[in-house]
A = this chain, B = another copy of it.
Amino acid sequence: MEKIKPVKIKKEMKVSELVGGMKEAGFGARKIGKASEIMKKMFSDEECKVFLGVAGAMVPAGMKEIIIDMIKEGKINVFVTTGANLTHDLIEALGESHYHCDHWDDKEFHDKGFDRMYNVFMKNSVYEKIEKFFEKNWEKFQDSKNITGFLKKIGELLPEGNNSILRTCYEKKIPIFCPGISDCGIGLMIWGRLASGKSLSIDAFDDMKEIIDIAWSSKKNGVIYVTGGVPKNFIQQSLQFSKGADYGIQITTDRPETGNSSGAPLEEGISWGKMKKDVEYIDIFCDATIALPLLLASVKD
């Protein structure tokens, strides 16, 4: 029987101290503390490949640097995300920005050409930059045969040191998977070119070989699922028929009761073989823009 110890706030407190204290408390605080511990183990276990799956508009919300730093510091080995995040990353890579909106009027925003994501927006004109990027570089994508290769090529084409996930993954040789690539601004711009008669041949199924190979060949696998969605599912199925994850952290505000993957607790994955039976994992019910910075700051070394 381990006693709850109340969280004690100190002056000039470091995040690591706070999160350490939260581990001694209950409810969600406990889980943040536990997740920080599991994250430390996962990141320092040299036998472990870490799969990071990110859904939700994390790039517009200012979580880009956290992901870039994880990649630069060698903390993750595989990155799976949505087309939206990569589109927003490319938008910033090409010099455009996202903006705060603590209040909004969607009709007015439409007239101004502002595209809103909760309390963040971008100018609709950013699409022109993406369009020009693909127009200019179209020929260079002709050799790309699958989605991960296509995304690697985008990273290659961005200038050295460009502060983006796409470029950093390219420089650090971290594969990016994005099964739903057609479902985003990048997809729209590709469609625009295809519609105008240009050709491109990117295979829809080919990427699975690479991610399953990584899952299969590693000694251990760790998973971090942010907001669920296709990224979570894609990582899970790469593990399902290989060997299941050895460490797991999930951050989601979706609910188990509705039966969709985004809300399914990690434990459910045990039945499928996506998570191993007696390993450490934790589900955190929290907005990822709060939990991610808190966790990463608590394990930063």
Contacts and interface: CB of A to CB of B under 8 A. Distances in A.
A45 interface: no
Given A69-B9, A204-B181, A28 B257 contact: yes
Of A121, A241, A258, A293, chain B has the most CB atoms within 10 Å of the CB of: A258
A258 B287 CA distance: 6
Of A13, A260, A269, chain B has the most CB atoms within 10 Å of the CB of: A260
A110 B271 CA distance: 4
Interface in A74-133: 82, 84, 97-100, 102, 104, 106-107, 109-110, 114-121, 124
A268 B117 contact: yes
A262 B262 contact: yes
As for how many copies of this chain the complex holds, the number is: 4
A130 to B, nearest CB: 13
Nearest to A278: B107
Contact of A24 (B15, B62, B285): B62
Contact of A259 (B110, B117, B207, B237): B117
Given A10-B300, A32-B290, A205-B200, A258 B116 contact: no
A157 interface: no
B65 A183 contact: no
Given A258-B27, A268-B106, A205 B190 contact: yes
